[in-house]
Chain A
Amino acid sequence: MAKNLCDTKHFEEVFEENNRSLTNFLYYQFGDLEKAKNFTQEAFIRLWSNCAKVVFEKARSYLFTTGKRLFLDEVAHEKVKLKFAERQKSLDVDSPSTDDAVRTEEFKDALEKAISSLSEKPRSIFLMNRIEKMKYSEIADTMDISIKTVEKHMSQSLIKIREQLNEFGSFKF
């Protein structure tokens, strides 16, 4: 039997599966947690209101497309400042020297800055692939672009990030 989004149980399934990644996606786009949360909520509310008109299998693409368009219509003015944390602490047998720790911290700050300075589309594609571990085909589907475009943005982002870090002098040990 086909799953029905108007059935709370099935809607909940979609919610649990997509809540984090949609919030993260919008965070990568806006660089602002409040906006990301607001528009995530808006996208899910839209999906819930239209539960009778969206096929269960298309829910994810509906959510991300709505989120993306909400972003495009909200004129972004603030400078984007993305912040990240380590997913898991690396298991160091010896704790790093303070020098190393400072350098690591500096590199992290510089990298956050470099990523924040990319434009939204390449930036969110890059982060969706590297952090959310989304495949190119999934990203292409979600953002309604071609795989070739995803590939292009991935390489261009990496190249730009490195250029920025060089300007910051982050690679000089």
Chain B
Amino acid sequence: MEKEEAISLWLRGDLSQDELQNHVNASEIEEYQKILATVDNWRPAINQSDYLVLSDVLSAPEKNVALPFYRRPAFMAVAASLVLICSLVFLFMHDQEEVFYAVSKNKIFTLPDQSTIVTLAPGGRLSYSGFDSDDRKVRLSGRAFFDIPEKGPFSVEYAAGKVEVLGTQFEVNDLDNYLEITCFEGRVAVVTDQKTIELSRGEKASYFDDKWLIDGTSYLKPLWISGQGERFENAPLLKVIQVLEKRFKIKIDTNKINLERRFTGMFGLEDISRACQVVFSPLGIKFQIEGERIILSE
């Protein structure tokens, strides 16, 4: 019998200490006992008052908060009609719509299949109604990362199309003028009006300027889900600017610069001027921060 196996049996109570001595020397056994005796008498250093109370769960406001959509008129019109259609349909079908919003930080939650975990980026909205675990469908606007351990149909619908999935991890990023779907694990089919694009692990499809571009990602997960910052791989400058605006809650004036460029790199979220430095300096763009506006020039 190997030493590790003997220790395992001893821990389980199926080997006496005497028998253990055939495999492990006495002083080592003493050391194990000292460790166990100490740990057995421990509790985590958490005060009674630190634990949750029932009201923390029952009166959590998440689901009942009505939040405004983005301020862009086109979006508002589309959203309004979507909501209207949805509520008519639901009146008929007696199905409750469940909606999730992320406000100032990532929102992580599980879907009713009790296994899929969604990380929703700030400003995002995800909803579903009458969730069917055998034919899973959600609606998304904004950006979310999906971790789907269980195989089976799964689709994410967004404004201009949908993504169908085969047990996987992927990100859908649906901003106003830009759409990006990255497959981190498994396979993903991106279904649009004109065609279907299949992605496998490490591939990314982005739609910008009326064109689809397929390239890759070298990463295993998006950076934003850890809240550490934003990372871009060959992303259009316009998109980077939109993300800057969203994350730092400022307006960026882009009239005087050429947006036809791409950016690869990343910035953290602590300091706006550092982030601007990272993004704009390599491209030779000057930036001027004036309160809640940033003016770019070349």
> A79 to chain B: closest CB distance in Å?
15
User: How many Å lie between the Cα of A45 and that of B98 in the bound state?
Assistant: 13
User: How many Å lie between the Cα of A162 and that of B27 in the bound state?
Assistant: 12
- Interface mask (B214-233 → A, CB under 8 Å = 1, otherwise 0): 00000001000110100000
> B268 to chain A: closest CB distance in Å?
12
User: How many Å lie between the Cα of A155 and that of B34 in the bound state?
Assistant: 15
Q: Is the Cβ of B39 less than 8 Å from the Cβ of A77?
A: no
User: How many Å lie between the Cα of A33 and that of B149 in the bound state?
Assistant: 27
User: How many Å lie between the Cα of A20 and that of B44 in the bound state?
Assistant: 10
User: How many Å lie between the Cα of A172 and that of B44 in the bound state?
Assistant: 26
Most chain B CB within a 10 A radius of its CB, from A20, A72, A115:
A20
Q: Is the Cβ of A70 less than 8 Å from the Cβ of B41?
A: no
User: How many Å lie between the Cα of A62 and that of B113 in the bound state?
Assistant: 11
- Segment of B52-60, B173-181, B235-243 engaged in the interface with chain A: B52-60
> A159 to chain B: closest CB distance in Å?
7
Q: Is the Cβ of A155 less than 8 Å from the Cβ of B8?
A: yes
Q: Is the Cβ of A165 less than 8 Å from the Cβ of B35?
A: yes
B63 at the interface (CB under 8 A from A): yes
B288 at the interface (CB under 8 A from A): no
- The residue in chain A whose Cβ has the minimal distance to the Cβ of B39 is A130
Query: Would you call the interface of chain A mostly helix, strand, loop, or mixed?
Result: helix
A19 at the interface (CB under 8 A from B): yes
Q: Is the Cβ of B110 less than 8 Å from the Cβ of A84?
A: no
User: How many Å lie between the Cα of A12 and that of B31 in the bound state?
Assistant: 43
- Segment of B81-89, B114-122, B135-143, B151-159 engaged in the interface with chain A: B114-122
- The residue in chain A whose Cβ has the minimal distance to the Cβ of B228 is A77
A15-B54, A24-B44, A156-B4 known; 7 new pairs, CB 8 Å cut-off, are A33-B46, A44-B52, A54-B114, A111-B35, A126-B39, A130-B39, A162-B28
Question: Can you list 17 A-B contacts with CB-CB less than 8 angstroms, sorted by A residue number?
Answer: A15-B57, A20-B51, A23-B51, A33-B46, A40-B52, A44-B52, A46-B110, A54-B114, A69-B110, A72-B147, A84-B42, A126-B39, A131-B43, A154-B11, A158-B32, A166-B31, A171-B34
Residue ranges of A at the interface with B (Cβ–Cβ < 8 Å):
8, 11-12, 15-16, 19-20, 23-24, 27-28, 33, 37, 39-42, 44-46, 48-50, 53-54, 62, 65-66, 69-70, 72-75, 77, 82-88, 90, 107-108, 111, 115, 126-127, 130-131, 136, 151-152, 154-156, 158-159, 161-162, 165-166, 171
